[in-house]
Amino acid sequence: MNNRLTTLLLFVLTLANIAAGEEAAGAAITTEVELAQTIARLDNPKTSSEARRSLIKFSGHFLYEGSMMYVTENRSMDTLRRTAARALDACRNTEAVRQALDDADRDVRFWGVTGVETTYGRTTPWESLVPRLTKMAVEDPDDMIRAEAIRRLRSFETGRRFLLALQDSTKEASPYVLQMLLDFDSQRPEERAKYYTRAIEFLSHKDDTVRLQWLAYIHGNTWNPSTAYMWRIEANPGLINKLKQIRETGSIREKDIAGKVLECLLKASKETAHSTNEPDSSPAAVSKQ
């Protein structure tokens, strides 16, 4: 990732998803010799796809270190995993990524979508992958992959037009994917207002699983200090009113989370007011009235 804050967010969100498959699928590589043999198979078109899959599984967390370093108790294995990650980066090209985007394995697809070039002036060779990215942005079963597909599409003119139309769709229910789709990280008030409107709608959803998913996500992005500032939930008046309603009429679990979110927003509002030496007049300041 080019942006340090984005790298941090991506790293935190990927750990749990990668870890489950890492031990089982990466167990075949245990030595430097086995790693070297697997890397060598990247040069053979007949074995490159399977070799990439093995290296992706073996590298696990280390594929997405960026500006953060991941360390385990087995430092020698850490070194091997970083070597595998570098080998994968060295073979990253449009054809390798194209194959990865079509793979049935979630971790391979995630490596593929994060491998699409977005650097200004270097995206032209990658435009052929836009149709695949648009399909993934809508249809992939993994919300992180849908979100990353959206992030990559932002770098292409046809991708931006597609996303603008997609914003009107009511199909997407993931709070994280919608943040990406509605440009929440742009920090423009009008874009954030769209997100809060959708959040209120989902907090009123008839399915309690959906409501709890949104409450949990909002809570995590309110109090979590590891969440980059551009992704943090603010004391939006409409959201505050909805949370107060849930605190009074929701299920036991919903009431508990809504109350915690309101407390976090109150605390954040006070800290913001203190840092700017302004009176604390935000909606969160009266969230318990």
Best CA proximity match to 237, nearest among 186, 190, 196, 208: 196
Host H or E run for residue 12: helix 4-26
Claim to verify: residue 171 and residue 286 sit in the same structural domain = yes
For residue 118, is it within any domain? no
pLDDT block averages, 10 residues each, the chain of length 289 = 43 44 57 96 96 96 85 92 96 97 97 96 96 98 98 97 95 96 94 96 96 96 83 93 97 97 86 57 42
Per-residue tokens: 97: 């990524």
pLDDT of residue 225: 75
For residue 100, is it within any domain? no
Cα separations in angstroms, 197 against 107, 155, 194, 283: 32, 26, 5, 16
pLDDT of residue 273: 63
For residue 172, is it within any domain? yes
pLDDT of residue 188: 93
Its pTM stands at 0.82
pLDDT of residue 36: 97
Residue 29 is part of which domain span? 1-91
CATH number at residue 251: 1.25.40
- Given 48, 76, 91, the domain boundary residue is 91
Counted domains in the chain:
2
For residue 135, is it within any domain? no
Task: State whether residue 135 is helix, strand or coil.
Answer: helix
pLDDT of residue 274: 60
Greatest alpha-carbon span in the chain: 68
For residue 22, is it within any domain? yes
For residue 148, is it within any domain? no
Claim to verify: residue 186 and residue 282 sit in the same structural domain = yes
- Given 54, 70, 91, the domain boundary residue is 91
